[in-house]
Amino acid sequence: MKYGLKNSIGACALAFILLVSCHGLEELNENPNKIGSDNVDPNLLLANVIAEAAKSTVNLGFGDIAGVMQHTQKDGWSGGHNAYDWRNDSHSWNGYYSLLLDNRTLIAKAEEENLEFHIGVGLVMKSYLFGLVTDLWGDAPYSDALRGSEGAEFFDAPFDDQMDIYTGIFADLGRANTLLSKGQNAYSGIQASQDILYAGDASKWRKFANSLAVRFYMRLSAKEPSLAEEGLRRILSNPQQFPLILDVSDDANVAYVGTSPDNAWPTNTEFDDDPQGSYFRIKMAATLVDALQSLNDPRLGVWANPVETPIVLDPNAAGGDEIIDGERHVSQKLVDDHLDVVGVPVDFDKDYVGLPTQITLGPAFNLKKEFNQGSYNPHVSQLNDIYKDASGPLLQSRLSSAAEVHFIWAEAALKGWASGGAESHYNQGIKQSFEAWGVGGEYDDYISGEAAYGGTLEDIIEQKWIASWSSAAQSWFDYRRTGLPDLQTGPTAKRAALPLRFYYHIDEIDNNSANAESAIEKLQPTSFKGEDSSNNSAWSKMWLLQGTNQPY
């Protein structure tokens, strides 16, 4: 559904006071005027939780993780995006726990007032957010998290085992499915305008809950195949008891309002018109552009602009470099010099040109004359003009989609864990993605061409990777358990392999030392750990990956 991302409300301030840990405080000071479960409307908290979770999803999937999964690359100030130049101060989970605290208050107030809709929605958002935390970091505070208001003994929360977090998520999603299974008229206290995801529609939230459940069961498929098979069989075989998001009309999308920098699409030029701003720094990665071109995929034109000035190799070009009929004609010498300086060849494609992965001089790629960082390059495809806008029908945070669910179902069928046929759900995954991006009319030609199902997991994961544009974190999680797509690093990558997790943040290590160090010791280092001084490496394996031989 298409509802707006709203500005954070005052309840968000409370979150930073009572995070997972409140280190160094020996006494708990009670503020009689604070927002809590006794004096807050859960509808107001709901809007904030959804909006901030949606923005976090885009910040991941259109941010650094889009770089990891080679959806995009930056040609300026690119270290964290292109090369995974991360450290133990790069990614903090405080924002997630801030939202989880607001969500905990929402659930507590709803429990007090017996608001079953709000309880169910709160459990779905709790599962979504804790799922992100454990997927990104591994073991994390869970069962005793968010209890700082109860006393100093809860300031340093222990880290729960990753499997225990997933178990808790499955329990919460199961309860949410039950709570949200009644007729719409059975619920009270709903303010549709504050539910900026589904406008108070319990049946859609129920589908979201079960769609998250199949996501997490598939997440466990390499580590705990028996558990994953049981969960997927149970849900996919009983659509009456476990309805799912199977049509784009039920997608869990939150649109951007675009009235301020806080609620506008992150690459907009309405609030950031700097010629070296976000829009001009981010280019589609050559990896994705090449894949889309090989499939004649119409989504490419939705996500990127054609090259403004194509390059033509012309030994007769005057002075070795001239513009003729809107094309830049260059000599072989210029092309050879470019390879020597930039390290990659010139791309002569006249339609779309992506930025190669982790190259040494991104600002100079494809014979750009000025080497200034992150500015317009007429010889490389910019993002589509829609990404200059602060809001628009396609500028949405995509929390869960029909395309994703169909691809999960296709993979389950391929494993023999579900009926319905892998090919039919593979096809539906593509169709639903096409509908989501406004190119549904081109589906028939596409599916009968190069994109036709070939019967392999590679087919399914490639299309799932493509369909995760702007929500690339889910593709990262798929890559970790399957090794697909087979993405290769470039010359400036921090390591010669894709990262597997975020570093535990230095603040947690310094202030919750014993618990953090215990979790770090349980991480399994890989041969790509490099110069990291402990197991707390982006190239160490969390429990979920240990023993799976994936992705390396």
pLDDT in tens, 387-430: 999 999 999 999 999 999 999 999 999 999 999 899 999 999 99
Helical axes 116-137 vs 162-179, angle rounded to 10°: 160
CB 265 within 8 A of CB 395: yes
Question: Do the bridges between strand 321-324 and strand 327-330 make them parallel or antiparallel, or are there none, so unpaired?
Answer: antiparallel
CA–CA distance, 187 with 202 (Å, rounded to integer):
9
Q: Give pLDDT, residue 4.
A: 63
pLDDT at 29 over 70: no
The pLDDT value recorded for residue 20 is: 39
Q: Contact at 8 Å (CB) between 244 and 234? A: no
| The pLDDT of residue 9 is above 90 | no
Spell out where 431-544 has E strands: 524-525, 540-541
In a domain, 371, yes or no: yes
Q: What is the pLDDT of residue 147?
A: 86
Confidence of residue 87 (pLDDT cuts 50, 70, 90): very high
On the question of pLDDT at 487 being above 90, the answer is yes
Task: Report CA torsion sign: 159, 160, 165, 171.
Answer: negative
Q: What is the mean pLDDT of residues 200-215?
A: 99
Mean pLDDT of 3-9: 51
The HSE-up count of residue 243 (CA atoms within 13 Å, CB side) is 16
Q: pTM for this one?
A: 0.94
Query: Which whole-number Å values give the CA distances from 375 to 135, 271, 283, 339, 368, in the listed order?
Result: 34, 17, 10, 21, 10
The answer on pLDDT for 25 being more than 90 is no
DSSP bridge partners of 329: 312, 322
pLDDT at 38: 59
Range scoring the smallest mean pLDDT among 125-134, 371-380, 398-407: 371-380
Non-local (6+) Cβ contacts of 405 within 8 A are 211, 214, 244, 245, 246
**CA 14 remoteness from chain centre:** 26
Write phi, then psi, for 282 (nearest 5 degrees).
-90, 125
Phi-psi region of 325 (alpha: psi -120 to 50; beta: other; left: phi over 0): left
Give strand pairing partners of 397.
254
For residues 74 and 375, give the distance between their C-alpha atoms in angstroms, rounded to a whole number: 10
Q: What is the pLDDT of residue 187?
A: 98
Q: What percent of the chain has pLDDT over 70?
A: 93
Overall average pLDDT of the 280-285 stretch: 96
Collapse the DSSP code of 418 into the 3-class scheme (helix H, G, I; strand E, B; otherwise coil) and give the result: coil
Q: Which of 541, 211, 530 is nearest to 399 (CA)?
A: 211
Mean pLDDT of the 140-153 span: 87
Over 70: is that where the pLDDT of 5 sits? no
In a domain, 303, yes or no: yes
Q: Is residue 40 part of a domain?
A: no
Closest CA to 407 of 232, 197, 240: 232
Residue 331 domain-assigned (yes or no):
yes
Range of the domain at 370: 278-388
Q: Which residue has the higher pLDDT, 4 or 352?
A: 352
Residue in this structure with the two tokens 């070939």, named with its chain if needed: 454
Answer whether residue 313 is part of any domain.
yes
Per the domain annotation, does 177 fall within a domain? no
**pLDDT score recorded for residue 253:** 98
Task: Kindly indicate the confidence band of residue 26, based on its pLDDT and cuts at 50, 70 and 90.
Answer: very low
Mean pLDDT in the chain?
93
Residue 263's pLDDT is what? 97
Contact 31, 70 (CB under 8 A): no
Residue 338 lies in a domain: yes
What pLDDT score does 296 carry?
98
Whether residue 84 has pLDDT greater than 80 = yes
- Our count of domains for the chain comes to 1
Residue 223 to residues 132, 400, 460, Cα–Cα distance (Å): 18, 23, 20
Query: Is the per-residue pLDDT at 23 higher than 50?
Result: no
Report the 10 Å Cβ neighbour count for 167: 14
pLDDT value at 56 more than 50: yes
In a domain, 351, yes or no: yes
DSSP state of 366: G
The confidence score (pLDDT) of residue 40 equals 82
